[in-house]
């Protein structure tokens, strides 16, 4: 069985072609600058040099056609024809309240995804475009939706309802949904395995820190709270998103600067966060280099981000109760020893004792314990693998073995699992 995993963003399409039978990646890559112009595809095949081709993709249909062509034609091909693809898994950012797990896509499912597109106007439309393109190109091949929001649908009502007019929830479904669900699912299962426990016996705080940042409070293996909200704007400091702020600030600044609501939305989502503080950078590596060279705003940015991370750990410790571990994941969480160290400084009083040497010596893309052997609360760095969740969900839905994530037997939840 060969499975194609797709992640359609507003101006990109990332993909992974996986041979489920032989448990190996055949190819992975992406088309960049879809719609905006200057489009190109890059494909990586194990054992080969990367393949790159510049070709304009004015829409997602064209981009997916280019991906299928790249996989099947020429020296860069890895399968003989598109009929070799058994199923396609699609990342869908927002599933609203209806979807609590991955589902096979039919007309009714697609209609429901369209109905909640207003909750994620930057994300669901390209997700839908990808689904439609695949259904047109591969009409007999089953497609499966894997939702960013599904993992968080176990949150209790007191955690997801905002202190706003209740009618907004009743009429418009304004509530906390949370995102990065597949990442939080994957690393929580891996952390349980590293602890030698079943997920249902684990209390965790998982910290997905990349350009987008979200945290999750996990009690007995399920999400009980998460930092992103109705949209991915709420929560921690991010690359270009502001995270938690006084909600009166947008109205105040709209009056001061005569800004429209759309202009304010752009400022909060695309010109705030790390970029807003530093005025120059979104990549934390650039921020750290500049801070080490004496840039005061970059130094301040690191202090703000790490302070907010530390506050979330404290808040979620209170929400979860006795804690087994804190887990760092995603690009910054996996690779920035400095930000991890700054976030965890002086936390021995709550049971977190970071081993600075372990933290600093950590190699990229390696699961590691970075707390001391005597730390009551363990700290792990676990590289996320959302695509593995996609692939296993798709395979299980096709063979009829799929179940709720607390019951389903994911391969990566097993103690002997070796990350790809």
- Enumerate the active-site residues: 148
Query: Which own/partner pairs from 7-13 qualify as long-range (CB within 8 Å, at least 24 positions apart)?
Result: 7/90, 7/91, 8/60, 8/90, 8/91, 8/126, 8/127, 8/129, 8/130, 9/123, 9/126, 10/35, 10/122, 10/123, 10/125, 10/126, 11/35, 11/36, 13/60, 13/63, 13/64, 13/67, 13/130
CA 9/CA 150 separation, integer angstroms = 18
In 3-state terms, what secondary structure has residue 342? helix
Query: For the chain, how many helices (H) and strands (E)?
Result: 15, 14
CA 175/CA 358 separation, integer angstroms = 40
CA 121/CA 160 separation, integer angstroms = 20
User: ∠ CA(376), CA(378), CA(384), 5° rounding?
Assistant: 165
Contact 155, 224 (CB under 8 A): yes
DSSP single-letter state for residue 247: T
CA 17/CA 361 separation, integer angstroms = 33
Return the H-helix or E-strand segment holding 84: none
DSSP single-letter state for residue 352: B
Which residue do the tokens 């475009």 mark?
Answer: 129
Q: For residue 224, what are its two tokens?
A: 């009980």
């Amino acid at each position: 069985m060969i499975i194609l995993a797709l992640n359609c963003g507003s101006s990109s399409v990332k993909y992974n072609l996986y041979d489920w039978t032989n448990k190996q990646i055949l190819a992975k890559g992406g088309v960049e600058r879809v719609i905006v112009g200057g489009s190109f595809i890059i494909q990586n095949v194990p054992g080969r040099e990367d393949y790159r081709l510049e070709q304009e993709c004015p829409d997602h249909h064209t981009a997916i056609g280019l991906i299928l062509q790249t996989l099947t034609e020429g020296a860069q091909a890895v399968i003989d024809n598109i009929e070799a693809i058994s199923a396609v898994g699609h990342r869908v950012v927002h599933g609203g309240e209806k979807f609590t797990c991955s589902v096979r896509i039919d007309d009714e499912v697609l209609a429901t995804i369209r109905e909640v597109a207003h909750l994620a106007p930057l994300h669901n439309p390209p997700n839908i475009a990808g689904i439609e393109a695949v259904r047109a190109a591969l009409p007999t091949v089953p497609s499966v939706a894997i939702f960013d929001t599904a993992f968080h649908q176990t949150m209790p009502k007191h955690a997801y309802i905002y202190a706003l007019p209740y009618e907004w929830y009743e009429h418009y479904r304004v509530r906390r949904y949370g995102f990065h669900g597949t990442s939080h699912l994957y690393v929580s299962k891996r952390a349980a395995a590293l602890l030698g426990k079943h997920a249902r016996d684990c209390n965790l705080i998982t910290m997905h820190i990349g350009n987008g940042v979200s945290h999750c409070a996990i009690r007995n293996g399920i999400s009980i709270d998460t930092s992103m909200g109705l949209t991915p704007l709420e929560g921690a400091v991010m690359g270009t998103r502001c995270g938690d702020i006084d909600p009166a600030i947008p109205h105040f600044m709209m009056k001061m600067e005569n800004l429209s609501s759309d202009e304010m939305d752009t400022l909060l989502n695309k010109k705030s966060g790390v970029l807003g503080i530093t005025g120059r950078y979104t990549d934390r590596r650039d921020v750290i280099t500049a801070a080490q060279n004496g840039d005061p705003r970059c130094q301040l940015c690191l202090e703000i981000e790490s302070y907010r991370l530390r506050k979330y750990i404290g808040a979620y410790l209170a929400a979860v109760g006795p804690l087994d571990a804190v887990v760092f994941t995603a690009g910054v969480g996996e690779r920035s020893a400095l930000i991890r160290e700054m976030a965890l400084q002086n936390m021995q009083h709550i049971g977190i004792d970071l081993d600075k040497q372990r933290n600093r010596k950590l190699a990229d893309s390696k699961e590691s314990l970075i707390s001391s052997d005597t730390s009551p609360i363990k700290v792990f760095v676990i590289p996320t693998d959302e695509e593995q969740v996609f692939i296993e969900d798709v395979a299980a839905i096709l063979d009829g073995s799929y179940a709720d994530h607390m019951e389903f037997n994911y391969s990566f939840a097993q103690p002997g699992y070796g990350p790809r």
